[in-house]
Amino acid sequence: MKIILASASPRRREIMDKLNLSYRVIVPNIDETLNEELPLEKQIEDLAYRKAMAIKKNRRDDLVIAADTVVVVNHHILGKPHSLSEARKMMKMLSGKTHKVITSIAILGQEEYVDHDVAYVTFSKLNDQEIEDYIQTREPYDKAGGYAIQGWASVFIPRMKGSYYTVMGFPLHLVYNKLRELGLYDHQQ
């Protein structure tokens, strides 16, 4: 059995590497539209599940891991910005507020495991120049909420509650615990 990480995210690969396991990356090609008939956390879990299943259906004997992340501020779901104006708008929405980050995971092997984790991130009040300088870094464009906690945006974050890796987009503790439970990860390595 091989372990497959179903993700195009370099951050998820970086975090997965911390487990010291051999794995392969296969990027799923799915419609990432959220199912708004479900509660928000279930929408994110459903998306991670669909990503994993897109790979699992052709790799029945393998273990497939997928994740998805959204940022929620004032009841608005922030995905990845697609333009300077979207990135600017997102940064203005985050400025001076605490927002919620929801990251879901799906691990599909002989059994199916789907879960999510939540973290809360507080941004300082940003002025227009700080926002412009940040969006010009190009850092916001492939990240939910338009920022990278591990990047330059870290200077805007005085507080967070929850897992740093959940905010980065891959709740390492959930993945580790499930892999350990499945007997696929031995912490004595």
Residue 174: which domain range?
A: 3-181
- pLDDT > 90? residue 189: no
Instruction: Give residue-wise pLDDT tens across range 27-52.
Output: 999 998 999 999 999 999 999 999 99
The C-alpha angle 150, 74, 88, rounded to 5 degrees, equals 55
Helices (H), the chain: 10-16, 40-56, 84-94, 128-135, 164-168, 172-181
Beta bridge partners of 25: 5
Distance (Å, whole) CA 66 – CA 77: 20
For the chain, how many structural domains are there in total? 1
For the entire predicted model, the pTM comes to 0.92
Would residue 68 show up in a list of annotated catalytic residues for this protein? Answer: yes
CATH number at residue 171: 3.90.950.10
Structure confidence at residue 186 (pLDDT): 56
- pLDDT > 80? residue 185: no
Q: Is residue 188 part of a domain?
A: no
Average pLDDT score, the chain: 93
Instruction: Give residue-wise pLDDT tens across range 87-120.
Output: 999 999 999 999 999 999 999 999 999 999 999 9
Token pair 């179903």: residue: 6
Structure confidence at residue 184 (pLDDT): 78
Q: Is residue 101 part of a domain?
A: yes
Distance (Å, whole) CA 62 – CA 24: 10
For the segment 174-187, the average pLDDT, to the nearest whole number, is 83
178-184 long-range contacts, CB within 8 A, separation 24+:
178/105, 178/107, 178/113, 178/115, 179/19, 179/21, 179/107, 182/63, 182/107, 182/109, 182/111, 184/3, 184/21, 184/63
Q: Is residue 70 part of a domain?
A: yes
Q: Is residue 19 part of a domain?
A: yes
Q: Is residue 115 part of a domain?
A: yes
Structure confidence at residue 4 (pLDDT): 97
Instruction: Give residue-wise pLDDT tens across range 126-150.
Output: 999 999 999 999 899 889 899 999 9
Q: What percent of the chain has pLDDT over 70?
A: 97
- pLDDT > 50? residue 58: yes
Q: Which of 68, 128, 133, 142 is catalytic?
A: 68
- pLDDT > 50? residue 63: yes
Radius of gyration (C-alpha) of the chain in whole angstroms: 17
Burial class of 39 by CB neighbour count within 10 A (0 to 12, 13 to 18, 19+): exposed
Q: Is residue 137 part of a domain?
A: yes
